[in-house]
Chains A and B, each alone.
Chain A
C-alpha cells in the first residue's frame, strides 16, 4: 500500500499501513482545529465549535489512557506509539508546527477541555509570533500552556536571514556561491523564481553546516556533523540541475523552507540531520525528470467526482435564490434600521432615515418588504427609540403612501398583536396618523384590524401621545378617513379622543356623534346623546367626556352628575311636542333612580304638571317614571 493507492482519507504509518482508528481520530481532530484556528478569531463561534468538537473527539479517542503525546522523531510524527508518515495531509500541519516550534513532545491529558485546547493553540501561536519577530538569536520558552498540556522543548535558536547570510557564510560559502549567478543557466522568466533564491538557499545551508560544526566543536558529546562539504556541493549541483530544467522551479521555495529549518535547528544536530535528510530526499525527487504521461499525485483535498457530487447536493437544497434587487432592498432596510438604531451623529441618523425613505419610495416593494418594515419598526419600538422613530417614520411612511399605498395596511397589520403597550405607544401616533389619512385601498377587514390596534392603547396613554400626533400630517387634515370608524368608536376611544384634538375636530366630532347615536354603547350614553341632539357640534368637551365614560361598566360619579345635570336641563327645556320621544321616559326614570335630589323639581313637574288643569303635560310613561322617585310626594292620582 502506498500513498498513491490508498484512500486519501486513510492515515498511514511509516510502513504504509493504516494507523489505529483512535490515533487517526486524535490526529485528525487536532489537524482540523489547527486549520480552523488559522481562519477564525479565538472567540469566533466557528472556532469555538471546532474546539469543542476536537476536544470531544480527542478525549473520547484517548480513553482509557490518561494522556497522549505527539512526538517528533526522525522518521515522522509519533502519536501513542504509532509513527505517522508526516507528509500526509492530516499529519503534516501538526508535525510542521511542532518542528517549527522545536517541540519534541506535546503531551495532552485526558482531562483536556476545549478551553485548554484553545489556550494551547493560542500559546503556540504566540510562541510562533515571537519567533517570527525575533531579530537575533535567543532562547524562547512557551508560556501560558494549560495544566492539561505540556511541551518538552529543545533548545531554540532564532534566525534572521540577513544576519545569517552575512555572518554565517564565511570563505567556504563564498566559494560555494562565487559563480552561482553565471552558472545557473538562463535568467529566470517573468513570474519565475527570484534570482536570489538559490543563492540564499545555499547560504542558509552553509550557515547551518557552519553553525552545527561550531556546536560540535563546543560540545564533544555531540556525535558527528549533520552535513559535509561534499554533501553541500551535491545539493548545489542538484539545485542547478533543477533550475536548468525549470527556471521557475517552485520546488526551490520548499527547499528554502527546509533550509531555514536546518538553520533553525543547527544547534541540534539530530534535528538538523533530519531536516537535511528531508531536503535531500525532496531535492532528489524534484531533480528527476518528470516522465511524460504520468500523473504526479498531489494531495487534492476533494477530487472532481466528489466535488461534482457535492455541487449536485448543494444545488438540490430547497433554498431558492431571491431576486437580487429585491433582496438588496431588504438589505437596505436592514442597514437603514440598523444604523438608525445604532445611534451616532445626527447626520448619520438623517442619512439612515433618508435611505429608508428612499427604499420605501420604490414601487417595487412587496409584502415581504412590508413585513420587514413592520418587524423593523417593532424592533425600534421595543428598544424604546422614540426619537429615532419620530425622525424616520414620517418620511418613510409618506414615501410608502405614495409609492405603494396598498402596503401600508400590511405594515401596520404586520405588527405583533401582542405588542407591549410601551412599545405600541411609540408607534401609535404614526398609526393614528395613517388611519386619519386613510389606508386605501386596504380592504375593510384589514383596515379594521389597524383600528383595533389603535384601540389597544388605553385612553390616558393615548391622550399623553396627542402632542406627538399633532405634529404629523394627519392632524392637520380637516377630515378624517372613514376607515377610522371601521370599529365601534368606543373600541378606539384613544384614537378618537386624539383625533378630536386635530384640525378635523369639528367634522370628526359630528361623525363620531352620529356613530354613537347609531350604535350607542349603553343606556346612559344613549340618553345623553338623545338629550343633546341638535347641539352636537357645539361641545367637543362633551364628546370627549362621553368617549371617556361611555360604555364603562360603572360610570364615574362625575359623569353621573354630569349626565344628571345634562338630562335635567334637557328635559326642562324640552318643547312639549318632543316629550313623546322615546328617550324621555327613560331619562326621567334614570333621573328618578339615580339623581332624585338633583332632579327633584323636574320630577315633581313631570308627575304633576297639567295643562288646562286636567290634562297631564307629560306623557304617561314619563309621569309613571317620575313617581317612582323614592321621595316623590304623592301627587294627584292618575286618571
Chain B
C-alpha cells in the first residue's frame, strides 16, 4: 500500500509536468488526470480512508513522519508546487474529480504565478473550485518532523534503501538546476556555488557511487525536462571525464558545468521552450540564443569559472566548426565544450521531448556516428565506451524473462552488470532479494530488450 501512495504522488506530479508541456484539454493531460483521479479513489477505497494526505518538508515528501524516497525524487514538480504555495502538504478527499485535478495541474504548471503566502494560495484554490483539495500549513508550524528518519518502509518497498545516501546528491543536483532556472527569470542572480557543491557531492563518490547515482536518473521528470536533462548531462559528463582521467577539481567544475550549461534556457519564453512541434524561424533564433544568453547570465553574476563558461557557451558548437553561437574563425571549441556537446546530444536523442520519442542508445550512437564530423572522435568513443548499449540505470529484460536494472557496463558493450528486479513471472523482487548478475560471467544470459533508457526517462524506440 505504501508503494501505491508513492505511485499516486508521482502521478500527481506527472500531471503538473504534463500540463507544463501541453494544455488543459490535451489528451495526455486529460488521461493523466483521469488516471490520477481513479488511482486516488482506489487508494482511498483500499485504505478505507476518506482523505489522502501527505506532507512536504525540506524539499521531500513525508507521510506519517517518514521520508518518501522515490516520490521525493520523481515528484519534484509537486514539491516545487508545494513550496510555491507555502504549504506543508496536500489533502485530497474522495470527491476529487479528474476536472479538479486538471485545474490543480494547471495551477501547478504556472510557475510564473507566485503566492505571497498560504492564505493567498488557498484563495486561488477556492477560485478554481478546488474545495476537495486542502493545503496544509507548513509542517514547521504544526510541530517538528523528523526529516532524518531512517530508510523507511517506503524506501524499502521502492528498493532504494541502499541508495538513500545518494538521494541527497541527486536532489542537490536537481535543485541546483531548478533553483537557478527559476532565479534566472526572477532575480537574475544565480547560485553557481550551489551547482559546484552539488558537483562536489557527485564527485565525492567513487566510480561505483557515481554509477549508482546514474540509476536515479531513470526517474521520470516530465516537468521542465531541461532540468532532468541538465542533471543527466552533468552525470554523463563526469562519468566520461572520470574515464579520461581528469582531476577531481576539474570533475567538480565539470559537473557544475553540466548542471548549468542550459542556464540560458531560463530566459526562453515557456511557450517556445515547451512548444510541441517545429519552431519557426524567429522562435528558433530565440532558442539558439540560449548559449550566448547563458554566458551573459554567468558574466552578469561575476562568474568566471572557465569550465562552466565554456560548457554554457559552447555546448552547441560542433567539432567541424558548425553549430551555434557563431564562433570566431580562429577558435576551435575546447574539450569541455565538446564533451558537454556530446553528452547533450546523446541525452537529447535518448530522452523524451514534447515533439519526439526517445531513441535507444544504439540508435543514438548510430545517428551520432553518422554525423561523425560533429563530434570529437575520442569523446564520442569515450561516451560509447562508458555507457555501452545499456547505460547504467536502464531497465532491461533478460533472456530468461527476468527484468533487471543495469548497474554498470561489463567488458562487452552488450553484457552489462545488472540487478534483477522482477522474476520470470514479472513479480517484483524485494530489494534484498534482487540478485546482482554479471552477464560477462553468465554466458547463458543476455539482454533481449531495453525497456527504459538509464539516462532517459521512458521506453526507448528503435528509430
User: Residue-by-residue, is B399-420 near A (CB-CB < 8 Å gives 1, otherwise 0)?
Assistant: 1110100000000111100000
Query: Does A327 interact with chain B (Cβ within 8 Å)?
Result: yes
Any chain A CB within 8 A of the CB of B116? no
Whether the Cβ atoms of B279 and A189 lie closer than 8 Å is no
- Give Cα distance in the complex from A335 to B295, angstroms: 8
Flag if B310 contacts A196 (CB, 8 Å): no
A292 touches B367 (CB 8 A): no
| Given A245-B425, A245-B426, A250-B451, residue A337 in contact with residue B328 (CB < 8 A) | yes
- Is A449 an interface residue when CB atoms closer than 8 A count as contact? no
Most B C-beta atoms less than 10 A away, residue of A290, A301, A304, A328: A328
CB distance from B246 to the nearest CB of A (A): 6
Stretch at the interface among B78-86, B170-178, B261-269, B356-364: B356-364
Give B190 Cβ to nearest chain A Cβ, in Å: 14
Residues in B neighbouring A253, C-beta threshold 8 A: 459
Query: Does residue B381 face the partner (Cβ distance < 8 Å to A)?
Result: yes
CA distance A187 to B7 in the complex (A): 11
User: Considering the chains assembled together, what is the distance between the CA atoms of A375 and B329 in angstroms?
Assistant: 9
Q: Which residue of A lies closest to B3 (CB)?
A: A190
Return the chain A residue nearest B29 by Cβ.
A162
How far, in whole Å, are A307 and B25 apart by their CA atoms in the complex?
44
Q: Once bound together, how far apart are the Cα atoms of A200 and B381, in whole Å?
A: 43
Residues of B within 8 Å of A39, CB to CB, are 349, 356, 367
Partner of A324, one of B250, B284, B378: B250
Whether A189 lies near B309 (C-beta < 8 A) is: no
Chain B, 109-130, contact with A by CB distance < 8 Å: what is the 0/1 string? 0000000000000000000000
Contact yes or no, A41 B328, CB < 8 A: no
The dominant DSSP class at the A interface is helix
Stretch of B51-59, B139-147, B197-205, B442-450 with 4 or more beta carbons under 8 angstroms from chain A: B442-450
Interface segment, A273-281, A347-355, A438-446?
A347-355
Report the minimal beta-carbon distance from A256 to chain B, rounded to whole angstroms: 10
Q: Complex Cα distance A404/B63, Å?
A: 60
Q: How many A-B residue pairs have CB under 8 A?
A: 244
Give complex CA distance A354, B309 in Å.
Answer: 14
- Is A376 within 8 A of B330, CB to CB? yes
Contact A129 B277 (CB under 8 A): yes
Cβ of A38 under 8 Å from chain B: yes
Q: List chain B residues, Cβ under 8 A from A317.
A: 377-378
Which of B309, B422, B424, B452 is A332 in contact with, Cβ under 8 Å? B309
**Segment of B89-97, B206-214, B224-232, B332-340 in the binding face:** B332-340
Interface members, chain A 336-375 (any B CB < 8 Å): 337-339, 342, 344, 347-348, 351-352, 354-355, 358-359, 372, 375
- Give chain A nearest CB distance to B259 CB in angstroms: 16
Closest 3 A-B residue pairs measured CB to CB? A327-B334, A375-B330, A331-B310
Given contacts A190-B6, A247-B426, 8 further A-B contacts (CB under 8 A): A135-B25, A161-B27, A161-B31, A190-B10, A191-B395, A298-B449, A328-B306, A335-B295
Q: A residues within 8 Å of B by Cβ?
A: 35, 38-39, 41-43, 45-46, 89, 92-93, 125, 129, 132, 135, 160-162, 181, 187, 189-191, 194-196, 200, 245-248, 250, 253, 289-290, 292-296, 298-304, 307-308, 310-312, 314-315, 317, 319-335, 337-339, 342, 344, 347-348, 351-352, 354-355, 358-359, 372, 375-376, 379
- Cross-chain pairs A/B with CB under 8 angstroms, 24 sampled: A89-B462, A161-B30, A191-B395, A195-B38, A196-B34, A248-B403, A248-B451, A253-B459, A310-B369, A311-B385, A314-B378, A317-B378, A319-B378, A320-B378, A326-B334, A327-B310, A327-B334, A329-B334, A331-B309, A331-B337, A334-B314, A335-B295, A351-B299, A376-B328
